[in-house]
Amino acid sequence: MNETKPPSAEPTGDARAAIEHRVLSLVEALARELNPGRRLTATLDASLQRDLGFDSLGLSELLLRTEKEFGIRLADDLIAEIDTPQDLANEIAQSGQGVIDPVAQKTETLPSAMLEAVPDTVTTLIGVLEWRTRQSPDRTHILLSDGYNESETITYGALSEAAGRFAAGLRSWGLEPGERVGIMLPTGNEFFEAFFGVLLAGGVPAPMYPPIRLSQLEEHLRRQAGILRNSEAALLIVPQQGKTLTGLLGGQIDTLRGVSTVAALRASEGPGPAIDRQPDDLAMLQYTSGSTGDPKGVMLTHANLLANIRAMGRAIDATSNDVFVSWLPLYHDLGLIGAWFGSLYYGVPAVIMSPLHFIVRPESWLWAIHRNSATLTAAPNFAFELCVDKIDDAAIAGLDLSSLRMVANGAEPISVDTIRRFTERFEPYGFRPQAMTPVYGLAESSVGLAFSSAEQLPIVERIDRAALSQTGKAVPARPDDAHAMPVVSSGVPLPGHEVRIVDAIGQEAPGRQEGRLEFRGPSSTRGYFRDPERTEGLIRGDWLTSGDLAYIANGNIFLTGRVKDLIIKGGRNIYPQEIENGVGALAGIRKGCVAAFASTDARTGTERLVVVAESRETDPSRRADLQDTVARSVSDILGMPADEVVIVKPHAVPKTSSGKIRRSTARELYEAGNLGQETRALWMQILRLGLMSGASRARRLLATSADLAYAGWWWSVLVLLGAVVWPSVLLLPNRRWRWGFVRSAARTALRLMGIRFSVSGVDRLATDRAIVVANHSSYTDALVMAALLPDEPAFVAKKELAGQFVAGPFLRRLRTHFAERADFQEGLQEVEAFKAFVARGNKLVFFPEATFFRMPGLLPFRLGAFTVACAADAPVVPVVIRGTRSILRGEQWFPRRGAVEIEVLEPLTPGGADFAAAIDLRDRTRAQILAHCGEPDAAARTVSFQKDGVEVADG
């Protein structure tokens, strides 16, 4: 709890002047640290944000330094109140000594009983709240906290009641079903009430970034007008203090009929019935840009949101025994959908903090975890860095983080060094390294797309930096490579979701090849609201482009960069065009000669916002003034300052021949220290960079041409050899000759295709009377097995192939056995036939997954092969095939170069002849193949899908 001593008399005269002097010294020193190269002089009336370049993290640091300097305890919400050094000095003068006692005792306000069921049959978010309210109306849903104390408890019943009253008020106000409502509220009970109230009234919520300072609400509203305009909002909900601004935006937003508050719109009578909504109805608009003059409203339906919540819950095994602590903003998809909606769906108590509490005192997040024995939490990379750098040991004495089983690290680039430093710092406080879980997502996929495995250490690779930049290949670096690039895996796609990596010609890239990451799944948006041009650029067929660069290795996704010029800072998306347009309109700046880009801090992984602007001004003093003007302009546009503003001479900002800003080249020049330097002409700098990048592009162009030529050759080999093999198999008089010819042809095809082929343990196939089972990942698996297997094996294939004109006669001549996948009775008869065949001393070859997909992962095994093995008392020989998926994957006909490795494992003997023995043999075999195949376990993706018209359940 917080304890504050009674304030002493407020100092006056010299004592007051001394406080102001010390404050100015603190402010000026920190301002220069935050804004290197800018000429900054602090005055008592200077705006900390506009004039001195403080963002929220800078203000947090200022408050912490102030507390240490003056030996006092300032209120956490002061960050939202102070605007000038004078404000800070006034607070110091009025405050008394204060101490903070985090109270190490665990809270007793959370429910202890576990809820067994989840609302897996409901189809809307409204249905989820109604279901939870019917099941357990008095159960704690949300605890509002400052990290040290829980100030308010919200039950499911209380939320439903409050939201119902608000919905009734909205309907009385005149809200029509489907109309959009902007919600610009800070973290608190009113936000939860308003969001579900809009849903119950049939409206579409559009959460908006609230102002840090209510005193700046008018200015903030003007910045947010783009969202209101794009969404065609009928109503804007603001904090109580903003009710005087009701008419401010009416003239700017044609559709806006009112600006109001939650309190003003609550109905006095009880809630009415909810407006009926369907799964495919628009549930909300998630705006992705940090600056909102040109916003992108991601359309998310109820079906999208529930699919994502369910997939994330399955990926982390969420139950109502979990406790989620979150300080994430509720206008951000990770805080809104991941933390709140996910907790609501799974009956997980959610301890919700204001972001301001975390920013001012990062340890408050950790104490909230401690007090509530939280098992789940999430944050962007910068939050972990802040905890490492800003928390003193004295502030966390007695802290216990051992309850955490998963800490999702996402929403911005993940730094391997940050993961290491956070783990090392907090392991002594019970934090387990396995709890750190890198994840990947984006608003266009609701929020989550890929998760690392919970309870496993993060997967980190060191790759050859030069090879990646020159050829796009993620080649593992040598152990002694001091310049290796560390990359952390973001995991595998969520159940029911898919990703792929595509190259410059839109074909899926092989493993370990960098390319554009595309995705699809039930969580995917149908586009941007009222923005067909951007929607067209987002959706390509049934795939959506992420704008990120990545590669896949062993089924894991490794992000390497971005295609687009998006800047991610502090978990917020920033688009450079608006900054460039706003700064370019300033007097003294050359219009169209401004570049805004991100430069990654190598140590922390956090992106710094750099703005480079051309000016003809040569006087140093005037240029310094211009730098300050640009910094204030950026702050006005974004609500946060740039990390660095660079004023350069005319023609220093690189452009294309058509006049477009070359942001990537500007960033390269900046990071090389050559931007605006007199030592070498700009054209020469660009030429040198162009030659280096041009050589890289030339190499990639040659590689693409080689890929196209190879694909043509690959198919030519297959067609020509097939034209010889097919009639030969039909004409040769006995099975031994047929199989000898097929085996030679398969090996010849692999050699001509340039497929490197290696085998280990082949002697284990020498036994007769065996069941051979192999993992199945490509169309080429049968070709590989044909080249590998000795003697005259018999494959088991799906019965549909028996009737095909070309495949049927060919397979029958090789004595292929056909299995019925849908008819249970016929399947029993086949088991008896297979048993008799094996008993006569033959090998039977199964692909027990029965199908394959383009995504890496070992699917569940069907039981047939193992039932036969137990019935015939025959050993099972597991065969692991690696590499064929990269050569030719499902849904693709564009082959790639690659190598195939075959590993024949030790035979496994049945433990009996009954059903339980078959299950045991299946599970032992699959465990062996999974341990050696180098792909993730796809059995966790408990979804149903269609393959060749037959439903297959992989869980």
What pLDDT, in 10s, does the model give residues 605-620?
567 888 999 988 888 8
Residue ranges with strand state E in 410-566: 436-440, 450-451, 460-463, 485-488, 492-493, 498-502, 515-520, 539-540, 543-553, 556-562
Q: Write down the mean pLDDT value for the chain.
A: 84
Sorting pLDDT into bands at 50, 70 and 90, what band is 249? low
Question: Rounded to the nearest 5°, which phi and psi values hold at 798?
Answer: -65, 145
Sorting pLDDT into bands at 50, 70 and 90, what band is 188? very high
For residue 657, pLDDT beyond 60: no
Quick: pLDDT tens for 805-837.
888 888 888 888 887 654 444 455 667 778 888
Strands 2-4 and 98-100: antiparallel
Residue 945 CA: distances (Å) to CA of 422, 497, 951: 40, 11, 6
Strands 594-600 and 607-614: antiparallel
> Using alpha carbons only, how large is the chain's radius of gyration in Å?
32
Q: Do the beta carbons of residue 556 and residue 549 sit within 8 Å?
A: no
Strand partners, 845: 772, 795
For residue 321, pLDDT beyond 90: yes
Q: Is 559 helix (H, G, I), strand (E, B) or coil?
A: strand
Q: Report the half-sphere exposure of 376 (CA within 13 A, side-chain side).
A: 26
- Bigger pLDDT: 831 or 594? 594
Separation CA 714–CA 556 (nearest Å)? 28
Residue that the structure tokens 């200022």 belong to: 62
Separation CA 41–CA 846 (nearest Å)? 77
- Bigger pLDDT: 870 or 18? 870
Separation CA 861–CA 876 (nearest Å)? 13
Output the 3-class SS for 748-809: HHHHHCCCEEEEECHHHHCCCCEEEEECCCCCCHHHHHHHHCCCCCEEEEEHHHHHCCCHHH
pLDDT for residue 528 = 95
pLDDT for residue 693 = 52
For residue 936, pLDDT beyond 50: yes
Give the dihedral sign, CA 460/464/468/472: negative
Of residues 669, 883, 875, the one with CA closest to residue 757: 883
Q: Is 662 helix (H, G, I), strand (E, B) or coil?
A: coil
Separation CA 445–CA 308 (nearest Å)? 8
Q: Do the beta carbons of residue 665 and residue 631 sit within 8 Å?
A: no
Output the six-digit token pair for 177.
């079903």
Which stretches within 649-765 are classed as H helix?
A: 663-671, 682-731, 735-752
Q: Do the beta carbons of residue 824 and residue 845 sit within 8 Å?
A: no
Give mean pLDDT, residues 116-136.
93
For residue 686, pLDDT beyond 60: no
Give the dihedral sign, CA 349/318/285/547: positive
Give mean pLDDT, residues 415-436.
94
- Bigger pLDDT: 891 or 713? 713
Separation CA 230–CA 298 (nearest Å)? 11
- Bigger pLDDT: 848 or 600? 848
Give mean pLDDT, residues 207-218.
72
pLDDT for residue 11 = 66
For residue 955, pLDDT beyond 60: no
Per-residue DSSP letter, 586: S
- CB-based contacts of 814: which residues, under 8 Å, 6+ apart? 729, 735, 738, 739, 742, 794, 795
For residue 838, pLDDT beyond 70: yes
Of residues 579, 581, 574, 582, the one with CA closest to residue 596: 579
Sorting pLDDT into bands at 50, 70 and 90, what band is 151? confident
Per-residue DSSP letter, 577: H
Separation CA 259–CA 263 (nearest Å)? 12
pLDDT for residue 443 = 93
For residue 954, pLDDT beyond 50: no
For 259-275, give the DSSP string.
EE-HHHH--SSPP-PPP
For residue 877, pLDDT beyond 60: yes
Separation CA 158–CA 165 (nearest Å)? 11
Quick: pLDDT tens for 780-800.
998 998 888 888 888 888 777
Residue that the structure tokens 């064929």 belong to: 884
CB atoms within 10 A of CB 272: 15
Sorting pLDDT into bands at 50, 70 and 90, what band is 220? low
Q: Do the beta carbons of residue 326 and residue 335 sit within 8 Å?
A: yes
pLDDT for residue 132 = 96
Give mean pLDDT, residues 921-943.
82
* Cα separation of the two ends of the chain: 47
Output the six-digit token pair for 635.
């702050």
Sorting pLDDT into bands at 50, 70 and 90, what band is 247? low
Q: Do the beta carbons of residue 85 and residue 46 sit within 8 Å?
A: yes
Strands 756-760 and 644-648: unpaired
Residue ranges with strand state E in 424-483: 436-440, 450-451, 460-463
pLDDT for residue 796 = 85
pLDDT for residue 387 = 94
Separation CA 548–CA 75 (nearest Å)? 40
CB atoms within 10 A of CB 545: 17
Based on DSSP, count helices (H) and strands (E) in the chain, helices before strands: 29, 38
For residue 9, pLDDT beyond 60: no
Question: Rounded to the nearest 5°, which phi and psi values hold at 550?
Answer: -160, 170
For 181-222, give the DSSP string.
EEE---SSHHHHHHHHHHHHTT-EEEE-PPPS-GGGHHHHHH
Separation CA 685–CA 673 (nearest Å)? 11
Residue 856 CA: distances (Å) to CA of 473, 483, 509: 18, 30, 13
Separation CA 408–CA 804 (nearest Å)? 49
Residue 279 CA: distances (Å) to CA of 162, 312, 339, 795, 799: 24, 19, 21, 45, 38
Sorting pLDDT into bands at 50, 70 and 90, what band is 278? very high
pLDDT for residue 15 = 77
Separation CA 333–CA 440 (nearest Å)? 12
For residue 766, pLDDT beyond 60: yes
For residue 244, pLDDT beyond 70: no
Separation CA 564–CA 503 (nearest Å)? 15
- CB-based contacts of 927: which residues, under 8 Å, 6+ apart? none
Give mean pLDDT, residues 167-195.
95
Give mean pLDDT, residues 158-171.
95
Of residues 325, 322, 329, 317, the one with CA closest to residue 348: 322
Give mean pLDDT, residues 197-209.
95
pLDDT for residue 871 = 87
Separation CA 357–CA 328 (nearest Å)? 11
Separation CA 25–CA 677 (nearest Å)? 33
Residue ranges with strand state E in 28-187: 98-100, 140-145, 150-155, 180-183
